[in-house]
Amino acid sequence: MVYTAESDPLCYPGTTVLRNKLGLQNQDDLDEAELALFLIRADEEFPYGRLDYPHYMALHHHLFQDVYEWAGQPRTIRIGKSGNWFCYPEYIDKQMKAAFAFLERLNFLMDMLPPEFASNAAHILAEVNAIHPFREGNGRTQLAFLYLLTDNAGLPFGAEELVRERVLDAMIQSFDGNERPLADLIMDIISSTQ
Ligand SMILES: Nc1ncnc2c1ncn2[C@@H]1O[C@H](COP(=O)(O)OP(=O)(O)OP(=O)(O)O)[C@@H](O)[C@H]1O
């Protein structure tokens, strides 16, 4: 996804292409390789963890370790999308700790009725999206983490509900303070019978 970014030391000089382990300096080539390598890692077993902040970072590392040196590490520059600026990097650590403390207080969303699970999971995802801890790969890490939350709660995960436009619209609305579409989407995901 294209970001509004400040001059970025993570990019090859004079470009908006992120430095990568493959040495690819063309964005289309990088997109293609990144997706292929991500899909291989997404198919593997995810790292074990406590559904906490370190686990979230480990998940990103797992998914993007073949592409970026900084996989699993928070970004250091300010970024935004379509006029929405995400958490300034100096506050990422504090905000992530707060989001994951909330999740722990809710006992990681276990033993909840589906609508309660959906609205709380939507809130966690909305928070983590507004923080946007990584320079790239946030959306895919969010959805991988949602899968871990459903799995831990013994709920199904209907991946067929993940229609790109619907996910994007729900995330953007959550950024603007309306978490309802995201909760409805999660409700459909966990109601899946496929
Ligand atoms: N204008 C916006 N405001 C808030 N959130 C947005 C906006 N545009 C996209 N997003 C969210 O940002 C996330 C995508 O972040 P990023 O591009 O870092 O992840 P990705 O995994 O590389 O991309 P994608 O999710 O598109 O595959 C998604 O959750 C998306 O819904």
Asked whether residue 194 carries a pLDDT value surpassing 90, the answer given is: no
Chain position carrying tokens 């006992």 = 107
Asked whether residue 8 carries a pLDDT value surpassing 90, the answer given is: no
Q: Is the dihedral of CA 192, 57, 40, 152 positive or negative?
A: negative
Ligand 1, atom 5, residue with closest C-alpha? 172
Q: pLDDT digits over 29-72, tens only?
A: 999 999 999 999 999 999 999 999 999 999 999 999 999 999 99
* pLDDT reported for residue 192: 81
**Burial 80-93, CB ≥16 within 10 A → b, else e:** ebeeeebbebeebe
**Burial 114-140, CB ≥16 within 10 A → b, else e:** eeebbbbbbbbbbbbbbbbbbbbbbbb
84 touches ligand 1 (CB under 6 Å): yes
Q: pLDDT digits over 67-88, tens only?
A: 999 999 999 999 999 999 999 9
174 touches ligand 1 (CB under 6 Å): no
Ligand 1, atom 31, residue with closest C-alpha? 168
Give 143-155 as a DSSP string: HHHHHHHHHHTT-
Domains and CATH numbers, the chain: 4-190 (1.10.3290.10)
Q: What is the mean pLDDT of the chain?
A: 95
**Could you identify the atom of ligand 1 that is nearest to the CA of residue 83?**
1
* pLDDT reported for residue 155: 97
Confidence of residue 9 (pLDDT cuts 50, 70, 90): confident
Question: Which residues fall within 8 angstroms of residue 91, CB to CB, at 6 or more apart?
Answer: none
Q: pLDDT digits over 76-133, tens only?
A: 999 999 999 999 999 999 999 999 999 999 999 999 999 999 999 999 999 999 999 9
150 touches ligand 1 (CB under 6 Å): no
Ligand 1, atom 17, residue with closest C-alpha? 1
How many alpha carbons lie under 13 Å from residue 10 in its C-beta half-sphere?
20
What is the CA(85)–ligand 1 centre distance, in A?
A: 12
